[in-house]
């Protein structure tokens, strides 16, 4: 017997409410959310003197325009008005925790393997509820249109890799007339191979717990690095946010530390790379730092796998 296809679509509002588009009963999608495949692209070209045609230089993904039609069934005239208000209340653009802010909703597609892929979307049309001449049994039905200005999907489950201290320092004592001890530094020097399964690059968020000095984080396969020319004290954490729209370096107090990055650091582009940029999606990440403490120093590497389309 063939099993039932398990796919659900729902929206997470900026203030954290979850709105189901399909409850298999009084609420369901008349049309599927589309398009979910490849986004459009704009190609940048140039033409040299006496050249026929053009040479393609690079490209940029276009925003993704999504449409769907939802129907909700009521049992009375008051239900009809209540359902309309509920739909509008969840989609309205001012559903923000701070007045005047404009944060996206998260449109989620759950696949049959229960993996959840999300798009950051903004409501950009529909739900006008124009009057209809025909009787429709107290139902509320209308199109909903979203725009995903970043058209790539991301896994709602965050991948985390921890880099812990491998102590190389030791204490050396020499017999003299009075004890003199030389304490070698403990060094964090760890390499991890990350298998990235996405089809679009993911920009990570990295947390570094002190004490540690002169941290260098390198993706050996892409040649990109992040180097902090700075000493992080014990009890403090420096966060390097490489995500699109962020690109910040701050400590626990919120102090901007982007100026302590070396001039050749790749804050804007540092990423685990998909195949074939890194063959097989294999990314060799090395973390190095001096003057660390076992049990305190730790580097955490977070990212959400991204797909160019579903």
Query: Within a domain: residue 278?
Result: yes
Domain end position, chosen among 155, 188, 220? 155
How high is the pLDDT of residue 27? Answer: 83
**Domain membership of residue 33 as a residue range:** 8-155
* CATH code assigned at 14: 2.40.30.200
Question: Count of CB atoms within 10 A of residue 263's CB?
Answer: 6
The answer to whether position 1 is within a domain reads: no
Alpha carbons 229 and 290: distance in angstroms, whole number: 11
Tell me, yes or no, whether 163 and 293 share the same domain: yes
Question: For the chain, what is the domain count?
Answer: 2
Of residues 15, 67, 10, 65, the one with CA closest to residue 40 = 65
CB 306 within 8 A of CB 201: yes
**25 and 142 inside one domain:** yes
84-132, pLDDT tens digit by residue? 999 999 999 999 888 888 899 999 999 989 999 999 999 999 999 988 8
Looking at the structure, do residues 76 and 163 belong to the same domain, yes or no? no
Least confident residue range of 43-47, 175-179, 189-193: 175-179
- Based on the fold, state whether residues 123 and 246 are members of the same structural domain: no
- Residue 84 shares a structural domain with residue 149: yes
pLDDT at position 300: 95
Q: Are residues 216 and 180 in the same domain?
A: yes
Q: Could you say which of 155, 171, 195 is where a domain stops?
A: 155
| Residue at which a domain ends, from 155, 185, 202 | 155
Decide if 3 is inside a domain: no
Tell me the pLDDT tens digit for each residue of 152-174: 999 999 999 998 765 444 333 33
Beta bridge partners of 141: 71
Q: Are residues 134 and 177 in the same domain?
A: no
pTM summary value: 0.86
């Amino acid at each position: 017997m063939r099993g039932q296809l398990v796919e659900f679509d729902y929206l997470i509002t900026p203030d954290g409410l979850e709105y189901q588009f399909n409850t298999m009963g009084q609420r369901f999608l008349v049309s599927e959310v589309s398009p979910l495949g490849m986004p459009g692209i704009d190609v940048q070209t140039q033409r040299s003197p006496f050249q026929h045609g053009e040479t393609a230089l690079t490209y940029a993904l276009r925003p993704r325009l999504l449409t769907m039609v939802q129907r909700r069934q009521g049992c009375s005239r008051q239900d009809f008005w209540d359902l309309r208000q509920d739909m509008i209340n969840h989609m309205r653009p001012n559903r923000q925790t701070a007045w005047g802010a404009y944060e996206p909703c998260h449109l989620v597609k759950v696949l049959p393997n229960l993996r959840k892929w999300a798009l950051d979307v903004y409501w950009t049309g529909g739900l006008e509820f124009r009057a209809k001449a025909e009787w429709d049994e107290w139902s509320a039905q209308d199109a909903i249109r979203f725009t995903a200005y970043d058209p790539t999907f991301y896994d709602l489950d965050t991948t985390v890799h921890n880099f812990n201290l491998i102590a190389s320092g030791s204490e050396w004592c020499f017999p003299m007339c009075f004890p003199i001890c030389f304490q070698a530094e403990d060094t964090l020097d760890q390499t991890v191979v990350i298998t990235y399964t996405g089809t679009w690059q993911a920009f990570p968020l990295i947390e570094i717990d002190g004490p540690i000095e002169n941290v260098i984080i390198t993706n050996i396969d892409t040649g990109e690095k992040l180097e902090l020319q700075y000493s992080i004290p014990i009890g403090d954490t420096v966060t390097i946010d490489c995500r699109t729209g962020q690109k910040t370096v701050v400590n626990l107090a919120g102090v901007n530390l982007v100026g302590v990055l070396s001039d050749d650091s790749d804050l804007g582009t540092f990423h685990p790379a998909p195949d074939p940029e890194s063959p097989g999606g294999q990314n060799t990440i090395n973390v190095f730092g001096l003057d660390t403490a076992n049990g305190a120093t730790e580097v955490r590497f977070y990212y959400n796998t991204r797909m160019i389309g579903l």
